[in-house]
Structure formats: C-alpha cells, structure tokens
A and B are shown apart, each in its own frame.
Chain A
C-alpha cells in the first residue's frame, strides 16, 4: 500500500476511535437525563429529603453542594494562585522545587477516598471539627489544591518569556510584571482551570463521605446567622452533598422512590457539571476578549 492509502486508513481509525468516545459520552448523558429529568421538578429541587416515604427532594443537598463548593474554592483559589505564581515565576530550579513539584503531582493522584479518610482523621477527629462543612471544605481543598496549582503554574508558563522581558525592560518591577503582564495574559487559562476544578469538586463524593458527613439535617432558610445550628451558612453543621446523597441512596436508601430520587439527583448533578464546563468556555472567552480589547 502506498502512503496515501495508509493516510486514509489512519485517518479512518482515528475517526472511529473518536466516534466511540463521543458515542459513550452521548449514551451516558442521554441515559442519565432521560431517566432523571422526568423526576426533576421545582418541588424536587427545593424540598428536603425524606428517609422513609416517597416524595423527598434534594433542596438541602443542592444547597450544601454549592455552599461547600464556595467554601472549598474560597480556601483553595488564593492558595493555588499563590503557589502557582511561586512555582512558575519565582522558584529556582533546584532539588527543593522539584521535590515540591513531585509532591504536588503525587498529591493530585491520591484517590479521593484516601483524601477523605485523611480529612476524617485530621480535620474531623484531630481538629475536632466533626462531620462538618468546614471539614469537607478542607478535604476538598486537599483534593483540589494540587490540580489547581498545576493549572495556574501551567497557564503562567504558556506566557512567552518575551512578554516578561517586555515588562521588565519597560521599567516594571518583577512583581509588577507578574501582576500586570503575566497574570492578565494567563487569566483565561486560570479561570478555565478554576471552573473545571469547581465542576470536579461539585461532583466529588468519596472525599466528603467521612468529612462533610452523610446526613442533611433540615435547614432553616429564614435564619442566616452562621452561628445558629440550623442556619444554612453554619460551617460546622454536617452537610450531605448531592453526590454523597446519590451514593447513599443507592447503597442504603430505603425510601420507596429511591431509584427515582437517585436518577433525578444524578440528572441535576450532571447538568450542573455541564454548566460549569460550558461556563468555563464562555467566561474564559469573555475574559480574553476583555483583556485583549477585541470585540
């Protein structure tokens, strides 16, 4: 066979592989949405779960997921940006920084259940935080921080050295160059990584089972005092999230409509994760346009 034919064969094989990937993804999405969406209603999204009767919702779990996500990002975003800037812009190449990089890589490949058990021992037991949103947020930080840090570092690394030279040659200090030239240019990539990280955290269950807990006590949405035990904002209350809820229903749910609740919750979860992904593209494109002054 000549090279032209081989080229066609190779192209065909690649298309076939890509097609399989898309089919699997499409099948999963359609299956989850078709099964789940009929059970999703405003009532389902806003009412609290029921343990023994049918008709329970996921309102509290949905709120918990978002609140936990918010707290986890609140802790991990500044830390990862700081660490990423250090690694990309300031760290010299020596054994210490390569040790840091290896540690980050190892940390990022830890199974999330291990992170969860670590969080349980350290945050829930040792630090005395118990099953709480705060323990969960800290565990999620451990889970998420390495990936976010790497993302920040890599986004900064894609900025060409000539841009840093331009800044410095213009009489900007190193920090000004990083802050005013390198970071703005890397911002679309950083924002994308943050939002994708948020999606990953949103769907995380294993790291939360033993940290944020598996119970979702009813919340009093009329009292937003964070020190009140039933307040939605109280960071020290146990908080089952949507993903944990799905896991729990499927392993030990005894309500009559367990499979419907699980299907509906899965559909909501997957829609939320999809929104994060599309949101990431949209927002980073907007950020980029704003930065570059294009229309």
Chain B
C-alpha cells in the first residue's frame, strides 16, 4: 500500500530563546497530514516549547525570541502579517491539565463557534453532538449537557476540552502531555480516541509516556537539550534507533 503523505507543517531551523537561554537549537522537521507524531524526550528537552511554537503560543511569554520558519500549508506562520487568531483556529491545542471553562458542557463545546458568530441553534446542537462523539464522551454526558463541565472527572474534562477543540474544525491538533494528569483507564480512552481521529486530523503529541508514543504514533521525534536528535517512524525509533542517545533514553538508561 502506498501511503499518500503530504507535508502539512514544516519547521526550518527554529531557534527559540528565553531571554538569553537558548531552548531550541535549530529544529528542522516536517509533519505529515493524517498522522500522529509523538515528541518525546526528558523534561526540559524543549519538546513542549517546540509544540508551542507551532501555534505561536510562545508569543504570550515575555522575552521570547524565535528565529527560523514554521510553515503551515506553505505559509510561514512567523511572517509579520500572520493573523495568530486565525492560525489558532486551524491549529487547536489541548493542554496537560484539563482546562474546561467553568460553564456548562454544552457551552464549553460551542464556545469557539459562538464567538465565530454562529447563532443557529440547530447548527450548534449538531456541532456539540458530533464533537462530543468524536471525543468519545457523548454517551457519558448526553443527558447532562447543561451541567457544569467542572462536575466531570478529570478524564471526562480532558475529552470535553478535546471536543471543544474539534468543534472549531482545526486541521492540526497539538496535545501537550494530554494524559499525564489522568488515570490509566482515562488515558487509554483518550489514546483510542486519537487513533480514531487521525484520519481527519493531523495530531502532534508531546508525551512522557513512551508506551503511549509507541502504541499510537506513526512517527516519533526524540528531543534532547534543545536538539532534535532523531526523527523517524515510531517502529524504527523504538526497535532500531540510529543514535546512541535515543537508544539510551528508550531503554531507560537516563531521563
């Protein structure tokens, strides 16, 4: 079977400085459409920082300087005329701690749509059902859509946050250790959901959990001290790593 692979995001020589401290030292990598890419590496290696350069969330931190280019659909998102608001509608993000708004489940999911100006009740209802189904939580919450999202468990909250992202129909979903605050069962549910979603979305996932990376990702990138050490098919990384550092990390010799 020949897989059609299309580059959707490509970064070229991305350097990032917090003040004078260089956190990313020239990251060049491409992400393919409809694949799950896992970014792994020890704490402080730059994987989360790199993830946040992809939707320009690092812009919010004072004293950050970024050089190099990141292209989404061939457009450099660091070009001066980039509309970051529009960019973040195309590249959704899910965080480590579930962060639903303290509103009802329904309101959480339609928040992005409402602000985009959609008023039609039927359209909103439909988006809620579709997104919650995609996020594999519809059956659990369909009878209490108007209750507070904060009344849900952590795993359910995280899936509502994913539904909230899906509702605005992004092309790419970034997930920053989405299951590290969750129990194994909830984590498993989210992993299965991501596998379901990858046909329609490009998924980039930062994880500390190497089993998780090996279970669900197509490609894996190993980061160490701000460098991209190795980036290949997940199988290659885990079974036949080319770099010594990768092998040491995977086999648990450090990190």
* Residues 125-156 of B contacting A (Cβ, < 8 Å): 146-148, 150-151
A169 to B170, CA, bound (A): 11
B1 CB–A CB distance under 8 Å? no
Asked if A171 and B85 make an inter-chain contact with CB atoms under 8 angstroms apart, the answer reads: yes
B55 CB–A CB distance under 8 Å? yes
Residues of B within 8 A of A170 (CB): 88-89, 92, 111-112, 164-165, 168
Knowing A168-B88, A170-B111, A171-B88, the reply to whether A293 touches B147 (Cβ < 8 A) is yes
Instruction: Give min CB distance, B92 to chain A, whole Å.
Output: 7
Asked if A291 and B102 make an inter-chain contact with CB atoms under 8 angstroms apart, the answer reads: yes
Knowing A172-B112, A292-B104, the reply to whether A166 touches B99 (Cβ < 8 A) is yes
* Residues 138-189 of A contacting B (Cβ, < 8 Å): 160, 162-163, 165-166, 168-173, 176, 180-181, 184-185
Instruction: Give min CB distance, A198 to chain B, whole Å.
Output: 26
A162 to B101, CA, bound (A): 10
Residues of B within 8 A of A162 (CB): 95, 97, 99
Asked if B95 and A166 make an inter-chain contact with CB atoms under 8 angstroms apart, the answer reads: yes
Specify the main secondary structure of chain A where it touches its partner: helix
Asked if B102 and A185 make an inter-chain contact with CB atoms under 8 angstroms apart, the answer reads: yes
Residues of B within 8 A of A293 (CB): 103-107, 146-148
Knowing A293-B147, A294-B148, the reply to whether A163 touches B101 (Cβ < 8 A) is yes
Residues of B within 8 A of A43 (CB): none
Residue of B nearest to A295 (CB): B147
A27 to B244, CA, bound (A): 78
**Interface pairs A-B: 8 shortest CB-CB:** A293-B104, A171-B89, A169-B93, A162-B99, A171-B88, A292-B148, A166-B99, A170-B112
A41 to B229, CA, bound (A): 84
A168 to B161, CA, bound (A): 13
A160 to B107, CA, bound (A): 19
Asked if B150 and A292 make an inter-chain contact with CB atoms under 8 angstroms apart, the answer reads: yes
